[in-house]
Amino acid sequence: MKRLSTPRHWLLPLIVFALAACTPKDNETGTHDELESQEKVMTDDVTQADGTADLEVLEQTASIGPISLLPVWEAIEAKHVEPGIRTLLAEVEAAFEKLESDYSSTWAGLMEPLERLQWRLDRVINIVSHLRSVKYTDELQAAYDAVRPAYVELTNRMNQSRAIYDGMVAIRQGDEFDQLKASRRRILTESIVSMERAGVHLGGAAKTRYREITQKLSQLSNDFSSNLVKEEKQNRIRVSDVEQVAGVPEALLTLAAKKAEEDGVADATTATGPWHFVVNGVNYTAVLQYATNRSLREEFYRAFRARGTTPGFDNREILAEIIQLRQEQAALVGFATYADLSLAGKMAPDTEAVWALLGKIETAARPAAEREYSDLLDFMLAEGAQAAENPEPWDMGFWVEKLRTENYDYDSEALREYFQMPRVLDGLFALTRKLYGVDIQRSQEQAPVWDDSVEFFEVRKEGEIIAGFYMDPYARAGEKRGGAWMNTVVDRSRAFSEAGSSTLPVALFVMNVRPPANDGPALMSMDEVRTLFHEFGHATQHMFTNIEEGGASGMNLIEWDAVELASQFNEYWMDYKPFLRNLTSHFETDKPLDEATLDRIIASRNFMIGTATQRQLWYAKTDMALHERYGRSDTEDGATPFEIEQELARTTIVTPMLPGESTLPAFGHLFSGGYAAGYYSYKWAEVLAADAFGAFKEVGLDNEVEVRKVAERFRNTVLGLGGSLPARDVYRQFRGRDATPDAMLEDQGLLQEPMH
């Protein structure tokens, strides 16, 4: 089951701006008159001069051998952000205006300068946006909030530039178009389409309203995200009774005791407390699985599920307004619903195709989910559990873990001792070398980082550095957003290379693993290991790209419902026994897991798969239904977002829920990430990933020669071609056909008969 909090942001190519990736927060209202005033300030000569030194800090770069353009993260302070970005906006706007009046309708005369201009703007914005996600401070947020309206206004104007649009159309209609490489043709075509969807044809009041909506959505998206970060920063569950924390893993108690000391409690200890638990995913998951005290589990469940609803951090009105504004914006550019607008740029042809896939999966998964819940209740009764008579949501994780232990004879928490992060990384890198012929090692040079726990790695092919990546592994309560995600730092592109060859791609991925305790190595759960593989799969698609046009290299221009293919494919290797064994090494003895335990772990991979699938389907159906039904002016459907969510919960979820329980106020994917009317992408891409891994199984996973051949084809197509071709065409080049759900359902034990 995929984590809810795994938003990922990628720089979109050329004129397509990823506003959700860059949206700051707070109390900006952004009226039209205010925006005009801010534009005047933005272009003021004094402001620009004052911010030159600050912009130099934001744009300063470092190199690690041939890897260039690395941000100097540690040099950036909140004081640099507002003056530096205001200067940047003024310079970019001036350069864009010059380009509008002085371009030629050729690739070199329009598209190349446009790429360089947008790259400069997006690079600084994304650097600061990243720091807000991993080193959050109120000062950094406030500085970024101050420039948000001007940034959004400029990107709106660039997206709606009729001069640039006409120039692109002229290239497409001219003699040069047929001579362009396929990647350039696709960049150009998709840029034209994206400008049309951004309202380039709008005029008068409609154009003004479109810009107002974009501005407001930027504000609301960041309000949503920042509310969750700020709430986590101050929200605590405080426990002083030793009996209440029975069963909670010692490592979490150590962290909670340290947090109590940070909160001003003297002499807090792991053994005696008191303990101050941050209400985040790391603590929530562990407490719900292992705490024997039912009241503590209930307190954690209610607190975690209440995120985004507490006074001062309430996201409910925000999310409703976001959906309404999305619907209005979609209507302005000719779409019946925001779902239709979202699907227009995805691999799925329409909303009917999405609902059809979700329906097929549910037909297979629901009977399994019902059996699983029945078996769980039977087990609880057999164990004499008081909760069996009236099971509550906070009982599920605890008893599911006990049933897993009963059925497969291993303790998930105890398994952590065998998954040391350094060893897991070594195993992951060994697999990557086996499949793709590359070597990965920690950089011997000191790369600039944003936290002391961040590491920088080099990727080498035949001894030559071809890419690099940052890894930020540990949770940092109050300054780092929850979940896990991958982002890009440097794209592969000829446009920014001083030597005539392409710049080397650099990725980063962020996790929230439980930090090391007592000076030992970080010990990972199986789910955290799987998350690591997931995020690294994304990074491989960025780093192994063969495309040298920045607008289509890596994950740029890949349809959103195909971007999870590489990540979910990478997870499948964890179920291959020889590889799984290679990840394990006890942190005290260095001995690997025994064969019998490895067999039981692999046998348990589909444990409660029906239940997990139904929950994912609920998220996907809720997302799609909200963006089809809510907030439209042409329908009388009066249901609120929460009523729509509950309606789908009643028909999808088979395990207990609280009355009125909602995931929406903390559903960052939909309201501060890029998954609006696109959460189905996880299942869509899971079909692709299972089908792709099927190609490896067909030649035999133990057949190293044939596996390497298939891996080379996978690298040269799925990982290599980026967005240079539509995802469907890329997949067909790899597999020779389209994917079907059969491989996924069969792998999960849900396939009853072939589906076509």
Which are the catalytic amino acids? 535
Report angle CA 750, 526, 472 to the nearest 5 degrees: 125
Tell me which residue of 127, 66, 721, 723 sits closest to 459, measured CA to CA. 66
Q: Is 730 helix (H, G, I), strand (E, B) or coil?
A: helix
DSSP string, 129-166: HHHHHHS--HHHHHHHHHHHHHHHHHHHHHHT-HHHHH
Tell me which residue of 464, 467, 474 sits closest to 503, measured CA to CA. 467
Side-chain half-sphere of 512: how many Cα atoms within 13 Å?
22
Calpha distance 161→158 (Å, rounded): 5
- Hey, how many other C-beta atoms are within 10 angstroms of the C-beta on 533? 22
Calpha distance 425→447 (Å, rounded): 19
Report angle CA 671, 672, 675 to the nearest 5 degrees: 70
Calpha distance 339→384 (Å, rounded): 48
Helix axes 250-262, 281-290, angle to 10 degrees: 130
Which residues, in sequence order, are CB contacts of 697 under 8 Å at separation 6+? none
- 63 phi-psi bin (left φ>0, alpha ψ -120 to 50, beta other): beta
Q: Give backbone dihedrals phi and psi of 272, rounded to 5 degrees, phi first.
A: -115, -10
Calpha distance 528→526 (Å, rounded): 5
Q: Provide the b/e sequence for 554-573 (b: ≥16 CB within 10 Å).
A: bbbbbbbbbbbbbbbbbbbb
Cis amide bond preceding 274, omega within 30: yes
Which 8-state DSSP code applies to residue 420? B
Calpha distance 50→708 (Å, rounded): 56
Helix axes 526-543, 421-436, angle to 10 degrees: 40
- 740 phi-psi bin (left φ>0, alpha ψ -120 to 50, beta other): beta
Q: Where are the alpha helices (DSSP H) in 595-726?
A: 595-603, 609-629, 641-652, 668-671, 681-699, 704-714
Secondary structure element (H or E) that encloses residue 69, with its range: strand 67-71
